[in-house]
A and B are shown apart, each in its own frame.
Chain A
Amino acid sequence: MISLRNLTKQFDTLTAVNNLTLDVNAGEVFGLIGPDGAGKTTTLRVISTAMNPTRGRVSVGGVDTQRDPEAIKRMIGYMPQRFALYPDLTVIENLNFFADVFGAPRAQRTELIARLLDFARLTEFQTRLARNLSGGMQKKLALAAALMHRPRLLLLDEPTTGVDPISRREFWDLLTEIHLEGVTIVIATPYLDEAERCARVGLMFRGELIACDAPNVLRDARRIGAVVLEARSAQAIAARQAIEARPGVLAASAHGDVLRVLADRAERATEWPSVWQARGIAASTPREVRARLEDAFVLMLSKFDRI
């Protein structure tokens, strides 16, 4: 569906995307993840034809974005990170505007908009000004507007950032519906639990794609060459500081009373209780747990950072 070949985008001195090569298959949900400034937004903007690449080639559905941007625009729905509909227009006025702009046929329009409103659960809010919608409703409205012309590819830039967990789940239910209709979805997200729901995930860092595969492959412990160990401690932060510099420890983080450590071998953990004891820190015995996507990425990013 999408093919990026050696895509590079530069802004003055900043290289936002560097030599990115990537394919997204038709019908898949593809997740783009990475820290802020990794180049996710720029990548989506280039695919959407909102920006031209500095170098490299981008094609969507076999059409080169630079050769025929108008054809691409009809194929894709793009939802920018910021709410990009008109705050002083009502829900229905916004939808009508985009229906006009995409030249939706008059005859089917009323029905199409009614279906989108129903789909986004916004029917009863259709006369409300967009600025008076909650964050979650705004996202759903933006999604409905992006779907107006029945795109084959949906590009979503952090669509659930700043949205409450219930609205997030609701939003993903909508995405699942769209996906089941055969629409290809590329979603940039900072949430790794969302990334787990994608068929494949690309991890971007400093403008480069440093990993790209199915989530269960990416988090495979053997593949990342590390084990994940967890210990409980009321002084999780102190516990972390105590063992951070011990041999074999690759990364450690404290989450509430849980200490999560990435180590090269499980046996490394045997010496930690004595380290903690020496410092008067009470902690449970570390035990190996299943690796999460997050652990894989922390590890990959820390390796990448050292290079």
Chain B
Amino acid sequence: MNSRLVSIIRKEFIHIIRDPRTLAIMFVIPIIQLILLGYAATTDIRRLNTAVYDADHTSSSRQLTEAYRASDYFAIRYYVQSEEELARLLDGGQARAAIIIPAGYADNLAKGAPAQVAVIIDGSDPAVASTAFAAAQSVGQAHSIQIIQQRLGIDVTKIGGIEVRPRVWYNPELRSSNYMIPAVMGMILQFLTQLFTALAIVREREQGTIEQLVVTPIKAWELVVGKVVPYIGIAFFDLLEVLFLGVLLFDVPIRGSILLLLTLSLLFLLTTLGLGLFVSSVARTQQEAMFLSFLVMLPAIFLAGFFFPLEAMPAWLQAISYFVPLRYMLIILRGIILKGIGFGSLTEPVIALAILGPLIFTAASLRFRKSLE
């Protein structure tokens, strides 16, 4: 094998080992990100703080309140005696939802007249609000059907009509950690390879060692590949680390082939290493490289559909997202881990990466070669 390449790789490993702080960062960052995003970036809405203004004070009104509590979406924390009090709790953020049962609720029910109930939801966080909105409606309807059944003394399911039975595939409990953790893997892969490749190359320039390297027979590609190989190794280690912790801490199911996942990751790494190389050809100091890397990473995370679904974005943003490699990697990661799909169902993202990878890497290599001057 090419002895120059081997010697560069060996040297790069020594750099990594001699810098324990960076080494620690490389192995601890994935854990922190996993835990933070696994627990904190959850959109599962449970036990929303709720205030109840029950002006009716009857057993019927109490039954309704109980139905909301039992749904587990609403935690009844406050019972208030006026709408003003209710408004204060919502304003102050102590309550995120409120139920108002007007006086005469039980009477109306008894008369067979429509009994009205108001549910107020704090819409400042749309994700919370939309879940609460749907929950408020379905809990109310279910309770309503129950009351009708009692009055008629029949089982409505026995008189026909449509029964919708939604079934959720891949992630039946709708746990957002199942959705986030594969994405965290993608992010960590990009973060590590892009940032540390850029730093490793810029350091040679900052230290002035590049001046010595350019007068040796080392070729530009040997330098690039030699610098990048150790970080690919670390990235794979981190990938498995996150996968392992994801299973251990968050019960993430791994339904597909890990081997396929690793193989396709390699394709993705070509793009991130290319981006790192590009950053290194622009940045003059390690600080600049760090700053630029984040500048590239942040939009990529959003445009890849990391937190928010791409379908919800305006068309022009969606158009840009086609050039974000992470977008395709997230499809691959979520597909293999959650759905257990194979290569055959992934042709689209694989082709996209197979085009973007060599393109980005070649362009960056050309720029890098020029920047050696």
Contacts and interface: CB of A to CB of B under 8 A. Distances in A.
Contacts of B311: none
A10 B7 CA distance: 35
A101 B217 contact: yes
B6 interface: yes
A73 B3 contact: no
B7 A97 contact: yes
B211 A80 contact: yes
A24 B209 CA distance: 27
A102 B8 CA distance: 12
A70 interface: yes
B103 to A, nearest CB: 78
A103 B217 contact: yes
Contacts of B217: 70, 73-74, 101-103
B215 A49 contact: yes
Contacts of B124: none
A85 B212 CA distance: 7
Contacts of A86: 11, 15, 207, 209
A234 interface: no
Given A97-B11, A100-B6, A88 B19 contact: yes
B18 interface: yes
A42 interface: no
A85 B209 contact: yes
A100 B4 contact: yes
Given A51-B373, A52-B373, A89 B216 contact: no
Contacts of A145: 212
B208 interface: yes
Contacts of B8: 101
A83 interface: yes
A103 B208 contact: no
A3 to B, nearest CB: 19
B355 interface: no
Interface in B218-235: 218
A82 B210 CA distance: 11
Interface string B306-342: 0000000000000000000000000000000000000
Taking each of A48, A86, A129, which has the highest tally of chain B beta carbons within 10 Å of its own beta carbon? A86
Interface string A43-62: 00100111110000000000
Interface residues of B, number: 23
Interface in A92-140: 93, 96-98, 100-103, 129
> Which bracket fits the contact residues of A?
20 to 34
A236 B335 CA distance: 85
B7 A101 contact: yes
Contact of B216 (A45, A96, A98, A129): A98
Contact of B4 (A88, A89, A101): A101
A87 B215 CA distance: 19
Nearest to B219: A70
B239 to A, nearest CB: 27
A307 interface: no
A83 B207 CA distance: 8
A162 to B, nearest CB: 14
A84 B7 contact: no
B24 interface: no
B216 A87 contact: no
Contact of A101 (B18, B210, B211, B216): B216
B200 to A, nearest CB: 12
B359 to A, nearest CB: 28
A45 B215 CA distance: 9
B168 interface: no
Contacts of A70: 217
Contacts of B6: 100
B214 interface: yes
A89 B14 contact: yes
A187 to B, nearest CB: 16
Interface of A: 45, 48-52, 70, 73-74, 76, 78, 80, 82-89, 93, 96-98, 100-103, 129, 145
Given A101-B8, A101-B216, 16 more contacts: A49-B214, A51-B373, A78-B212, A80-B208, A80-B211, A80-B212, A84-B207, A85-B209, A88-B18, A89-B14, A89-B15, A89-B18, A93-B11, A100-B6, A101-B4, A101-B217
Top 6 closest A-B pairs, CB basis?
A100-B7, A84-B212, A82-B208, A88-B18, A80-B211, A78-B215
12 contacts: A49-B215, A50-B215, A51-B373, A73-B215, A80-B212, A84-B209, A86-B209, A89-B14, A101-B7, A101-B216, A103-B3, A129-B18
